[in-house]
Structure 1
Amino acid sequence: MVYGDADSVSIATGNLQTLRRAPAVASVVTAADIAAMGATDLDHVLETVAGLHISRSPNSYTPLYIMRGVFSQYAPQVLVLQNGVPVTTLYIGNKGNVWGTFPVEQISRIEVIRGPGSALYGSDAFSGVINIITKGPAEAAGTEVGLRLGSFQARDAWVQHGGKLGPIEIAAYLRTGTTDGQHRTLEADAQTRNDTLLGTHASLAPGGVNTGGDAVDLNLEAGYGQWRARFGYKLRDRQGSGAGIASALDPVGVGRSERINTSLGWADAQFSRNWGLGASISTQSYAQELDGYILLPPGTRFPTGLFPNGMIGIPETWERSTRLTAYADYSGFADHHVRVGIGHDDLDLYRTRERRNFTYTANGTPVPLPGLADFSDSNPFMRPHKRRIDYLYAQDEWRLATDWTLTAGVRHDRYSDFGGTTNPRFALVWDATFDLTAKLLYGRAFRAPSFNEAYSLANPVARGNANLKPETDRTLEAAFSWQAQADAQINLTLYRYEMSNIIRLVPNMMAGTGSTFANQGDQTGHGMELEGNWNVNRELRLVGNYAWQRSVDEATQKDAGYAPRHHLFGRADWQFGGNYTLSPQLNWVAGRQRATGDLRKPIADYRTFDLTLSTRRGKNQWNFSAAVRNIFDADAREPTLAPGLALPFDLPLAGRSFSVQASYKL
């Protein structure tokens, strides 16, 4: 523990390991870290992780998790897990457009792997893996109630409890919240350009973005011996349309998503002398419904006619997933720890519905209809689809010598719709000295096409392609962890990756008929990540990281665009007066480039400063915190995709905001 082994991580191999010796480049954010930084949402927390940046999508202002310069429209290249189970939705392949927020009060820790993880986790563990671990019965012991008020009419209240009911360990959490959302001004939108071309005046820009919404979160956990059951309910209602589903301001359109997760697992690490066994079944039910989404505002006119009530389109999806997995650990071989596992996923997008007040001409131009019509059966944006996956993986942790460990693993996935893929990884870890550990890692990863990319139908702008193959990635990493002294640690990572078969929209051969998804293009990237923490004394702790990356589109030999080349984060935690902590922090995002063909002005860098004052009095006491984010009201913006004709001035982030919080632990 003196040499930094107090932190541990489980997602690197499936077994709990010290962070310094784990065969991956990993970071851990604890509940204490979250409290110190005054975070009120998961995205605030993830922005502090080296190599990870939170961007935004125009559609609902959905957060995009950008790892090591890998940027795309929906960012499905980062796999998000909750207690080890994917929260991936089938339609667009990420966590869902109507994601809203994720509360932090019930988070025990967040484990993040930067780099490929498909050898253990399969699809989407492409540029990284994020595992959100919620508080169990021991960590949530007793009962806590809390209330938070903040800018934008934000109000949150929660209660959580941990304890025992006879021999059963119980943890429960309930939270409800609402916010009007930030309304920073969007100077121009997609309709602004249409007005210029067609001589109309329909655009609502300049105008504020639409980012409010309501939330309900319920989580239950029960443990009995080697058994553990979980139930989760996540409702997001009245979620604003952001900058508009079609990048045109829509102040009235709202979305609703309902997510229900269940899991039942059994694990016994000491099933017999040399064997550990485990198995689990998990399900996810996800529905995404929209209310009155206006693609283009009232007064929109095309050569085919006028839309007096606006151009309205309402695509909705319902899906369910069932995942079964089992593994066996064997330690009977000298200096080896072997794990083998199997699994089956049954993924079913079982219902789609689409209502709209327009149809299309042969070249994709919208034609107004007299009212809203249901196209679910006649001409939907997508029909129901199923996908089944069977997989098998094996992993060996081999202690080569006293200070050397080689971890080798491989996983084969067989998809019902596009075939099989095999992805290996190797990790050599060397404890060079008591205070220095070095790692050399190589891994391959893949991302399966989403249902939208493969099976989209009645969308003249973006048609699906059932012949798509997975995106692939190969990454080489060298990492060094130096315990400079008992209370100071420095980590350095160097990496290089090669992406192939990137799924992109490609113009159709026939002019005027939109684009189709295709495996088109390659990308390479390299970079470094520097992390450090220093307990200066009992009152002061400093933490920070700096990431630099350069990603290149191989077709043009130009910067791939959008992701920051430079990202710096720093925080100081100063404890004073016995029970108070003052935590200032800085977030600097710089060097974002436009992609080839995007002639807009360069994307401006930004710096935001936050400050949190909190108390930690312990059991049977009130705890308070007050936070201000973006103290100097910086005009921070996230880029929109090329060519920038829809949103020429990018997406404005929230300005200065305040929050105060009180909680009571019984």
Structure 2
Amino acid sequence: MPPSCTAHPGRPPLHLIALACLAAATGSSHAQGVATDAQVQPLVITGTRAALDPNLPSSTASITAEDLREQNLFNPEDAARMLPSTAIRKRYLGDRNANVGGRSHGVLQPGRALVYVDGYLISNFLGRFDAPRWNMVNLEALERVDALYGPFSAIYPGNSIGTTLVMTERKPRGFEASASLRLSQQDFQEYASAETYLAGQASARLAMRHDNGLFWVLGLQHQDSQGHPMGYANAVRGSTSGAFATPAAQTRVSGIVYDTDPNGRERALFGATGIDHSVQDTLNARGGWALSPTQEVEARVSLWRSRSDLRYDTWLRDEAGKPVWLGSVRDDRYAFSLPASSFAPSTRLEAHRQLGATWKTTHATGWNASVVATQYRIVEDASRQANLSQPEADLGGAGSVTRRDGTGWTTLELQATYRPVAGDWGQGRHAPTVGLHRNEYTLKNIVNTASDWRSTETALDQSYFGRTRITALYAQDAWRLNDDWRLTAGLRQERFETWGGAQYFAGPPVAQNTYAARRIDASSPKLALAWAASDTLLLKASAAKGVRFPNVDELYNGTKTGTSITTSDPALRPERARALELSAELDLGRQNLRASLFRDDVRDTIVRQTDSTVTPSVTRVNNIDRVLTEGLELVWDARDLGHRGLDLGANATWAQARIEANAANPASVGKRWLRVPPQRYTAQLAWRGTPGWLFAAAWRWSGRQFNTDTNIDIHPDTYGGTSRVNQLDLKASWRFAPQWEWSLGIDNAGNHHAWQAHTLPQRVLHTALRWEMR
């Protein structure tokens, strides 16, 4: 070890020294000479280079269509689950609430994850569990997924303080056709529930590019899936009113299961809830035309329709062996009271529409311009909830209907970029980008009472409304100081506006609130310096500020049900992140390595938390004064190692995320931040050595997490907890004919049980048959 790498008291932590040593050791092993133009570009890992801005000032990672063949894919969000420092909260096949978590934010902070498909925003910032609208992505056409970490680029909105995912669909080069059939099976067992759940998906795609520059794409997808239980009807000692009472004249039952809840309290469970059967259909239509050799237009229409039916399963049986769904019950130990809401079924019917249009120029050098517009609308969203339990509710009865018809968002992006040529702007040393961004979110939520929950709507019970708008001007320039150094500087100036906020409750007592309009201005400067230290080594330092404004739901959501109350805060402050990253990227041909030190210091972090110690439970949204995350990320990639066709890859993230200040709850200071594991590892192996065959394995592991800001959830390995994840996936595929491929796979081969409050999937078997012609 060089003397300069020796640790001394009072010097930086070991992980900082480790990165410095890597840079020093690598730099000393290569003669430093004149870098080529390619070497002053981000030398990101092979196969992980973002196909976006070539001057991105921060770390990136990517997965290509060929890489995706190594994974068991059922839904589009599966494509992102092996990316470094990334978590996808997918609870079951067909889940519509698969949120994204990153290296400094958890999956319950959806406002910190941006997701695009072909430049169109599909991030759904309309609710706590409103995940990106993955359904709008055509899995048959998915060409790559690129991830950007942190707020270092002025090109992206303030929501990029976490993770930005850019999904790209393939454009046809001629006539193309493909179709696939996927089937999955999960044998699920937990508590007293034991059942097999099936899922199937059929998809097809037709595409054509004509000689005159016109192209079109048509994609169809049908999915029918059954989810495992998302919850369990339960009572907690000291929290649920009347629970754990002395047995008396209540109905005697069998089947009550006892365990310990995440906070260490005794709990009784009575049956499974939220068993989802969903049928989803997606239509994607895309077309474009090359108006000239340097000018293109494109349009997109996506339609998604979903029907979801939630059923329930009681474990309780009376002395005659008949199911018991509600009322006062007891066993030999305790007595309980089961309200009708414990097993009250629900259905939800949704219809969503996305429109998109793009115009751009494609000059090889000089100025280019682009316009991208998106409109996303929830055309219909009716969630029908019964007040009675099964089986009485199957015959009708009172209930409620929640509607979000008309909710949605629009975006507009105007951008101009300059591609330098020798002799321009200091011999091609400047590559500026300027742009205007605007997005607007509209929230409409109405709850009506229903005399028959299956078909009627009687009277207004409650509602909340609101609108937000963000307008931003930005500029960024990548300046080649010389052949080895590049400085990237940017500034994003944003204006946030919110208006139309209102809440209504029929009571009693009747409550009606309207909220004044607000306006907030914010500036976000960006700066990054890259040095091509040798022919194979790139060192980079990046610093940035990012501002994430409150989502419209965080400002105005106010909902009451028989089991829960949700309150928001119309005076929420925006999150303000100050981020730093130091990285070293090493390219050794077939092997590549990146090491990144990161520091995210976020003031006024916005978080929602649920207090389940009271009945009904209360969920509140508020600002946390300061959350600090520091960590190290390592990414390694190797191609054609040893034997031809053997690829290996691995990444690891160590993060320390803690609450540094919280005047509203001083007891939380020093505690670990929500849903950010201290360690996270993934590893992949793929072998294509035998013609036509592919064998792959992927392993994911993440440390335990917390679900409360005071870290009182000390028992993570149970329903409601946030546990470790330890999952091994296996896959084999065979191209048995020129246009045909069959695959067989297992997710979670070791059947390791894990929880993210809800139970995560247990062992799942997959098989798929695919035909493709192009």
Which residue of the partner structure matches residue 380 of structure 1?
462
- Paired AA for residue 414 in structure 1: R
In the alignment, does 2:201 pair up with 1:156? yes
Match of 2:589 in 1: 486
In structure 2, give the amino acid aligned to 1:628.
I
1:232 equivalent to 2:345? Answer: no
Of the three residues 52, 55, 68, the one matched with 2:103 is 68
Cα 1:258–1:424 shift into 2, 3 Å: farther
Contact 1:570 1:585 in 2 (8 A): yes
Amino acid of the residue matched to residue 382 of structure 1?
Y
- The answer as to 2:515 corresponding to 1:427 is no
C-alpha distance 372-264 of structure 1, shift in aligned 2 (>3 A): closer
Q: How does 1:279-428 map to 2 (within 5 A)?
A: 279-287=371-379, 289-293=381-385, 314=402, 316-330=404-418, 331=420, 332-334=424-426, 335-349=429-443, 351-356=444-449, 374=458, 376=460, 380-383=462-465, 385-417=466-498, 418-428=519-529
User: For 1:226-249, what per-residue CA distance to the aligned partner results, in whole angstroms no more than 9, with x for missing partners?
Assistant: 112222222232165999xx9x86
**Which residue matches 1:270?**
363
Q: Does 1:37 align with 2:102?
A: no
Query: How has the CA–CA distance of structure 1 residues 656 and 275 changed in structure 2, closer, same or farther, with 3 Å as cutoff?
Result: same
Matched ranges for 1:587-666 at <5 A: 587-593=700-706, 595=708, 596=710, 598-603=712-717, 604-616=723-735, 620-638=738-756, 650-666=757-773
1:173 touches 1:218 (CA, 8 Å); kept in 2? yes
- Supply the AA of the counterpart residue of 1:395: Q
- Give secondary structure in 2 for the equivalent of 1:560: coil
Greater CA drift, 31-40 or 64-73: 64-73
Identify if the C-alpha distance between structure 1 residues 393 and 68 changes in structure 2 by more than 3 Å, giving closer, same or farther: same
Mapped to 2, the partners of 1:527 and 1:333 lie a distance apart of: 38
Structure 2 unaligned blocks of 5 or more:
1-37, 186-196, 257-267, 291-295, 314-338, 499-518, 662-668, 718-722
1:115 Cα offset (Å): 1.3
Q: Deviations over 1:13-43 (max 9, x none)?
A: x63x2xxx74221110111111112222233
In 1, the alpha carbon distance for the partners of 2:619 and 2:299 equals 45
TM-score, with structure 1 as normaliser: 0.83
Alpha-carbon distance between aligned partners in 1 of 2:464 and 2:473, rounded to the nearest angstrom: 31
With over 3 angstroms needed to count, the CA separation of the structure-2 counterparts of 1:210 and 1:445, relative to structure 1, is farther
Distance (Å, rounded) in 1 between the aligned partners of 2:132 and 2:348: 9
1:213 aligned to 2:307? no
Q: CA deviation at 1:253?
A: 2.1
CA 1:282–1:44 in 2, change beyond 3 Å: closer, same or farther?
closer
Contact 2:644 2:689 in 1 (8 A): no
Q: Is the 8 A contact 1:145 1:159 kept in 2?
A: yes
8 Å CA contact 1:98–1:256 kept in 2: the answer is no
Distance of 1:255 and 1:108 partners within structure 2: 32
Counterpart secondary structure, 1:43: helix
> After superposition, where does 1:402-551 map in structure 2 within 5 Å?
402-417=483-498, 418-457=519-558, 459=560, 461-483=565-587, 485-504=588-607, 517-535=621-639, 536=641, 537-551=643-657
State the percentage of identical aligned residues. Answer: 17
Q: What is the aligned-residue RMSD (CA, Å)?
A: 3.8
Give the equivalent residue in structure 1 for 2:3.
none
In the aligned structure 1, how far is the partner of 2:481 from the partner of 2:606? 40
Superposition TM-score, scaled by structure 2 size: 0.72
CA distance in 1, matches of 2:383, 2:713: 35
Residue 457 to residue 155, structure 1, CA distance change in 2 (3 Å):
closer
Correspondence for 1:574: 687
Equivalents in 2 of 1:562, 1:440: separation in Å? 27
Following superposition, the deviation at residue 404 of structure 1 comes to 1.2
Q: 1:520 to 1:310 in 2, by over 3 A?
A: farther
AA partner of residue 606 (structure 1): V
Partner Cα distance (1:557, 1:96) in 2: 30
The alpha-carbon distance between structure 1 residues 176 and 298, as it changes in their structure 2 partners (threshold 3 A), is closer
SS at match of 2:78: helix
Deviates more, 1:401-410 or 1:516-525: 516-525
Residues 147-197 of structure 1 deviation map (CA, whole Å, 9 limit, x = unaligned): 112213211111112222452112221111111123477484789953654
Q: Which moved more, 1:398-407 or 1:386-395?
A: 386-395
Q: Mean Cα displacement is larger for which, 580-589 or 291-300? A: 291-300
Determine helix, strand or coil for the equivalent of 1:76.
helix
Paired letter, 1:219: N
Any idea what SS the aligned residue of 1:228 has?
strand
Q: Which has the higher mean CA deviation after the structures are superposed, 609-618 or 594-603?
A: 594-603
Contact 1:543 1:571 in 2 (8 A): yes
* Structure-2 residue corresponding to 1:366: none
Deviation at 1:47, TM superposition (A): 2.0
Q: Is the CA contact 2:489–2:526 (under 8 Å) kept in the aligned structure 1?
A: yes
Change over 3 Å in CA distance of 1:28–1:141 after alignment to 2: farther
